[in-house]
Structure 1
């Protein structure tokens, strides 16, 4: 009998996704210590194979440290376009079968199968879907199933590599109890160290601490930790098609054909929503640019891109789209930029060829923007755009000069 609060949630995780794609491209890499990331000493490890992990290597580790631990490791620079392509292939397979799914990152999915046991065996159905994904993509997939998202994710981690594990309803707390506290999602080094100083090392111990005491220690995080330790998670599976886009547009006070100004405005707008993207811990897989001309004709163009949230990559794509769209004989009334096909993820995975300094720079910039507002730290060109916008009432004469210079016969 299905209880009102009994759910069935499956979690799919593409094992060592970037590494698996590299091994698919080059079979000789299988079973070897493989690092995906930049090749310079200042680069970081974006992903590593299970064979490399045996040497103590992990993602986000400086590449020079990783090579010191495993000098014979093989390095691949990373191909975000290829990873994005495979992520979309997996998404299409799941979308064609699952009644309700959430794409929580480039390589992770939650499926809500509540009530399916009335018609099918949920575990059998999900196992068959896992086999289908592996057969069609030639990539390994681990599967966890439980009554909520948090426990299903932990089950997936325990099933790795390339396995599956189902936790029966009512057994969530028993399953989690013997584990180290670090196994609970969102318990990082700092939280773990804080708990261990108080003698809390296992999930069982954490679950037995009164919720009021944990709240006194850690505020709201203490309440969330107590729930997780007791196998409680009410968070819903959010349908992937409901993922919202992030966009911005600007209607100018005076129509313009000034390319320098328009490019500066594109920089400003891209930086603005790029910061929003990173603030929400999202990556975008599609960029759209919109132009409205003085005759009110509106045109848009979009392109699918490798998942990213890095301004320098997004700016390149936005400018490319704008240059394809722009009709130089018409004045522009409005331009807009939109990022869609959003997935959760850390923008650092896009920085395969960048150094720790580049990653640190992004983090420092976003920290300042978070404290004082995104507009307080922008590229110089975008500052110029805001200044020129104030001069828009005087733009008409400039537009006429530009038109006469560009099209002397018109």
Structure 2
């Protein structure tokens, strides 16, 4: 049992190994140990996940399926089941939430736990090892564990412990642990940054850590300062407590109460597009959709549904419209409608594109790039523009109806 030193933290990182692949193998035991690809079934689809056996052939996620099958013709392809993956993710979350003092769900299959001070009472390594075994026993899924003094080093330790292992880095040994590694193993070092460093002869983390911080800043800007800290095992980012109630939402109060169904549906499309883009901008996925209606008599009703984690416009639009159809049953004038996405987790948009093509992935990336540069409203579905026009026209239409009524039935 060690004493807590000034500034010493204890951070655990849990990562479900090849999560989608592991769930598929749990469903069908015959797939275990075989090259397995999870993704769309067509040649134009992309690989969402692949087994360790498939990776030996050079296959990786986001690779076009046709390329993956050329590299490994005998690979088995499964279409993916986001609903099932979301269910298992929630199951693991419930286990961790029931025992961890402070945890962050950083993605659908990754968790950080802040265990600072636990060594005074109960060894952190022993505690996390027991938690890992509990997750494996209750879910029948593999999970790897890294334990260190900060989030970055614990994540690297987890990657070194895979598959289905654990690794603890003693306090003060962070820099020594990282030193011999390739620079590509540092989190957030992309291909372009790695290429820039390699052109300057930087191959290992040790070499990177010895470069003056000012020189790295001159090479890479602010990213150079961040890389120097990482190379030296320094990371002060906190574990952010996970709260299911975190959400993004938008709503619209109409200038004139309406029963125009075309307008209402167009407005739902506009709000869903706007809010889904906000999700993707924050690298978030939603697991719950809520639709809100306020009638002209001010009665307010809401309805929600849990969904497989996603940030895709076309999937969310389908759920929002389904909820609206079930919710709107009074046939009264509508004063306000709203859309909310909650139960948020970090995650990449591509993981929900099991049935989409590489072109669809590229299209979403291009759309989001334009929206990020010029604003989300500069590239929207045509129906959303129609809703804006119809809403502006409503007061004029109401005025014309009143004039016709007065002509037909003059006072007196």
Category of TM-score, reference length = shorter chain:
over 0.9
Rounded Cα–Cα distance in structure 1 between residues aligned with 2:7 and 2:123: 19
- Report the Cα offset of residue 391 of structure 1: 1.4
**2:39–2:78 contact (8 Å) kept in structure 1:** yes
Residue aligning to 2:164: 162
Instruction: String of CA shifts for 1:32-60, please: whole Å, max 9, x gaps.
Output: 00000011111111000001111111111
Pair 316,111 (structure 1): closer, same or farther in 2 beyond 3 Å: same
Rounded Cα–Cα distance in structure 1 between residues aligned with 2:244 and 2:229: 27
Rounded Cα–Cα distance in structure 2 between residues aligned with 1:68 and 1:379: 37
Runs of 4+ in 1 over 2 A off after TM superposition: 394-400
Instruction: String of CA shifts for 1:84-136, please: whole Å, max 9, x gaps.
Output: 00000000000001000000000000000001111111110110000000000
Instruction: String of CA shifts for 1:157-195, please: whole Å, max 9, x gaps.
Output: 000000000000000000000000000000111110000
- Report the Cα offset of residue 243 of structure 1: 6.6
Residue aligning to 2:147: 145
Work out whether 1:181 is the aligned partner of 2:168: no
**1:254–1:395 contact (8 Å) kept in structure 2:** no
Residue aligning to 2:227: 225
Residue aligning to 1:345: 347
**1:245–1:338 contact (8 Å) kept in structure 2:** yes
Pair 75,397 (structure 1): closer, same or farther in 2 beyond 3 Å: farther
Pair 318,399 (structure 1): closer, same or farther in 2 beyond 3 Å: farther
Which of 319, 322, 326 matches 2:321? Answer: 319
Rounded Cα–Cα distance in structure 2 between residues aligned with 1:365 and 1:320: 25
**1:142–1:164 contact (8 Å) kept in structure 2:** yes
Counterparts of 1:67-78 in structure 2, within 5 Å, are 67-78=69-80
Counterparts of 1:272-283 in structure 2, within 5 Å, are 272-283=274-285
Rounded Cα–Cα distance in structure 2 between residues aligned with 1:398 and 1:342: 46
Residue aligning to 1:361: 363
Structure 1 residues 325-334 or 68-77, which shifts more?
A: 325-334
SS of structure 1 residue aligned to 2:243: helix
Rounded Cα–Cα distance in structure 2 between residues aligned with 1:365 and 1:173: 41
TM-score with structure 1 setting the length: 0.96
Pair 231,243 (structure 1): closer, same or farther in 2 beyond 3 Å: farther
- Report the Cα offset of residue 394 of structure 1: 3.1
**2:4–2:119 contact (8 Å) kept in structure 1:** no
Q: Which runs of 5+ in 1 are unaligned?
A: 401-410
**1:257–1:399 contact (8 Å) kept in structure 2:** no
Rounded Cα–Cα distance in structure 2 between residues aligned with 1:326 and 1:67: 47
Counterparts of 1:393-408 in structure 2, within 5 Å, are 393-396=395-398
Residue aligning to 1:208: 210
Rounded Cα–Cα distance in structure 1 between residues aligned with 2:171 and 2:382: 57
Rounded Cα–Cα distance in structure 2 between residues aligned with 1:111 and 1:44: 33
Residue aligning to 1:407: none
Pair 5,243 (structure 1): closer, same or farther in 2 beyond 3 Å: farther
**2:244–2:343 contact (8 Å) kept in structure 1:** no
Rounded Cα–Cα distance in structure 2 between residues aligned with 1:93 and 1:398: 62
Residue aligning to 1:29: 31
Which of 290, 299, 303 matches 2:305? Answer: 303
TM-score with structure 2 setting the length: 0.95
Work out whether 1:199 is the aligned partner of 2:172: no
Rounded Cα–Cα distance in structure 2 between residues aligned with 1:249 and 1:68: 48
SS of structure 1 residue aligned to 2:355: coil
SS of structure 2 residue aligned to 1:286: strand
- Report the Cα offset of residue 329 of structure 1: 2.2
Rounded Cα–Cα distance in structure 1 between residues aligned with 2:64 and 2:279: 25
- Report the Cα offset of residue 3 of structure 1: 1.8
SS of structure 1 residue aligned to 2:129: helix
